[in-house]
Structure 1
């Protein structure tokens, strides 16, 4: 039958014309029309698939891509938005989009966390500053004219700032230092800065007992007075030095012990006078072992322990010296300068680590001027004579652990120190008054250095004018303490 002839079997409503699409596909005729008709067939199939597998309406470019993939029968891939969706829009499926920009919910939470962290850091630094960095200024005597002070290790750091304040108040200051070059330079700087020409240098090496004796001999022959003796010099490490003895104990305790003993006659002659031993809070970790007191120190662990032991020895030395000198007018105090950003802190730090530690030390440690306040307080403050032998920090008395207030241990350390310092029996005897220089037995400058100047008040008040210190806790005598322990 001819394809164009109607047979009467065609359904109603359909054209009776030839089925050119099917014919073209079947016979391969009309290639252009065949391609167009194949594309139409694909669209019909896609339309049918869209009705049977509906895809949610796209809300973004990524959702449109997913919808296109769905339209062609391919599974949609989960794609991450390239940028945060603006406020008020929702992602596919009706879920709210995550917001990360500042001012939107996610960004606001991040900002709050950042501000909270900054506030906590600022508060912590304020606490550190007022408890560690900021040091209370010392008061004490305004004028020291006519008096002589010796400060060991005064060419830098705390010692230099201590000497500067004494020089500003008019004292004659002797810088007792190991290095002549640095000591002379420090003396020149202090003379320029204080305007006081009575600042001199004298050589002293506390690691050498012979040097300590030479210094004492030179000082006693040239200086008629000694009113204030401040033991500031010290080391925290042995470095590369290898000695057959405990170098840390020698420099931090035995040397100052010997120097004090040799200068004691002059201190007594100029009473009231004071001895200040610069210690450290590290004494709380100290545990003196008298069986190995002078053994060499090897390794950084032993150095840490030896340093703490030497600082404990400082506290016990001040305690026992106060007992030995009771009634002589010479008082003694142990002073903790606080955490100070000084050469002692960075001297033994590896060179590659110093650039990292210097900014941190500047933030959380005291300047040397602040570290000098407590030693100056002990040297100059009026009315603290009843507190002789006590431990001071932040310009006030602080309690010490039991190991640092053990009077028996303090006396045992005194005896061991005399042996290690090489003091013979003859050197333990009281000095003859006739052997002292005539000027040293003159009326004490601490009592009234300027009788002709009515504007200068009496620096150390008499017991009648001293403030009431009856409520201050004093040291318990050994006998009373032992009786209490026995009960």
Structure 2
């Protein structure tokens, strides 16, 4: 029993102090207890206990960490709040940047002046119609859905106390509907002072009633045809204004006159191409109508939360719609530059240019190329069944009849059928 009590503390000492020096000290003390000298009895001293290198290294590391007072970054509860805070901060500043807006710098009223706005039942068009009605304008809303448009017109009349807000049916995907809208407008209105080409489509591949690719047909060709048919009313209302809504995405597109159907089809490319056409149309229309004191402006409203993304399919569409609600401008903010172009003073020098946040927006040179703009103009006349401005002896062979570039786009059967 006595020997057992002596061995137990020795074992504890060996475990607590695994180093060689401490082991020798313990051996010497045990030799003194027995009254012997080291090696005196001929017995070899007990070797020090072996400690696994891994265990020793691990304990040394643990001691170093404790001595240096370092933080264990493996603890995820410390890292996650920092990451979340950084993300929230980035989103906050990104939202501020995207939503930065210069308000309309003019408080002018437009009492007695007539304004036509396409796509005016929602988004930027609705916000613009509301503000122009508040400023005394006679607002004509061109809407594809007559019932929805009339409901919005009633709300605007009630909100602004302006009874001169009307809704006409206008489907920019149909040349026949555009012609009927213009005939109806000509019968009711003597003049036109401001035309705002706002409506747009973005979505899966489809065609207009006349067989053209829908983005190209609605966003550009329909507005071209509408503006062309209303130019006499604009001359009577001179000085008058035409405002075309464009997008900075135009810079990502190139116009291939031999591939109007856009094969292979891509939603972003189709939309960008249609906005490139609107930039070119703005430049060419200014050159042709400046002498009639009709000023033409392009407006890039920025990234605005509207219904333009409602047709984007799949999960990507859901994500984009959610992001737009969080980050993008409101329609009221997006309409400020449009309002500035509609009611601002001393705007003559800005005609033919594109504006953003009430300032001139620099446009790529290829989008202002005169030869390409003229070619697009004359192609558009042919697509709409109008007479080309180019003399017959100077036209390309493919432009003497329906242009060869659009033979694969689709038939234009809607107009003849309805006329019968």
TM-score category by the smaller chain? 0.7 to 0.9
1:282 to 244, 249, 252: 249
Distance in 1 between the 2:307 and 2:263 partners? 22
8 A Cα contact 1:174 1:199, kept in partner:
yes
2:198 to 232, 256, 265: 232
What SS does structure 1 have at the residue aligned with 2:117? strand
Name 2:154's counterpart in structure 1: 188
Q: 1:193 to 1:245 in 2, by over 3 A?
A: same
Compute the displacement of 1:136 (Å). Answer: 1.4
What SS does structure 2 have at the residue aligned with 1:292? coil
Distance in 2 between the 1:384 and 1:216 partners? 27
Give the paired residue count: 356
Structure number with larger C-alpha Rg: 1
What SS does structure 1 have at the residue aligned with 2:182? helix
Name 1:55's counterpart in structure 2: 16
What SS does structure 2 have at the residue aligned with 1:138? coil
8 A Cα contact 2:247 2:301, kept in partner:
yes
Q: Residue by residue, what CA displacement relative to the aligned partner does 1:421-444 show, whole Å, maximum 9, x if unpaired?
A: 111369x9xxxxxxxxxxxxxxxx
Compute the displacement of 1:123 (Å). Answer: 5.5
TM-score by length of 2: 0.75
Q: Does 1:374 align with 2:337?
A: yes
Distance in 2 between the 1:232 and 1:391 partners? 14
Name 1:346's counterpart in structure 2: 310
Distance in 2 between the 1:402 and 1:240 partners? 31
Counterpart mapping for 1:238-317 below 5 A = 238=204, 244-293=211-260, 295=261, 297=262, 301=266, 303-317=267-281
Name 2:6's counterpart in structure 1: 44
Q: 1:96 to 1:315 in 2, by over 3 A?
A: closer
Q: Residue by residue, what CA displacement relative to the aligned partner does 1:357-383 show, whole Å, maximum 9, x if unpaired?
A: 555322210111111112222222111
Name 1:97's counterpart in structure 2: 66
Name 1:415's counterpart in structure 2: 378
Distance in 2 between the 1:339 and 1:235 partners? 15
Compute the displacement of 1:139 (Å). Answer: 2.7
Distance in 1 between the 2:293 and 2:103 partners? 26
Counterpart mapping for 1:108-257 below 5 A = 121=87, 124-125=90-91, 127-238=93-204, 244-257=211-224
Compute the displacement of 1:110 (Å). Answer: 9.2
Higher helix share: 2
What SS does structure 2 have at the residue aligned with 1:277? strand
Distance in 2 between the 1:50 and 1:267 partners? 104
Compute the displacement of 1:332 (Å). Answer: 0.4
Compute the displacement of 1:330 (Å). Answer: 0.5
Distance in 1 between the 2:61 and 2:217 partners? 80
What SS does structure 2 have at the residue aligned with 1:176? strand
Name 2:405's counterpart in structure 1: none
Compute the displacement of 1:313 (Å). Answer: 0.5
Q: 1:127 to 1:173 in 2, by over 3 A?
A: same
User: Where do 5+ consecutive residues of structure 2 fail to align?
Assistant: 19-48, 392-420
What SS does structure 1 have at the residue aligned with 2:341? helix
What SS does structure 1 have at the residue aligned with 2:215? helix
8 A Cα contact 1:141 1:382, kept in partner:
no
What SS does structure 1 have at the residue aligned with 2:378? helix
1:401 to 354, 364, 387: 364
TM-score by length of 1: 0.65
What SS does structure 1 have at the residue aligned with 2:292? coil
Distance in 2 between the 1:46 and 1:93 partners? 28
Compute the displacement of 1:398 (Å). Answer: 1.1
User: Structure 1 stretch 404-413 or stretch 232-241: which is displaced more?
Assistant: 232-241
Distance in 2 between the 1:93 and 1:386 partners? 75
Distance in 2 between the 1:242 and 1:133 partners? 34
User: Where do 5+ consecutive residues of structure 1 fail to align?
Assistant: 1-36, 58-72, 79-89, 429-487
Q: Residue by residue, what CA displacement relative to the aligned partner does 1:65-107 show, whole Å, maximum 9, x if unpaired?
A: xxxxxxxx998997xxxxxxxxxxx99985453899xxx9669
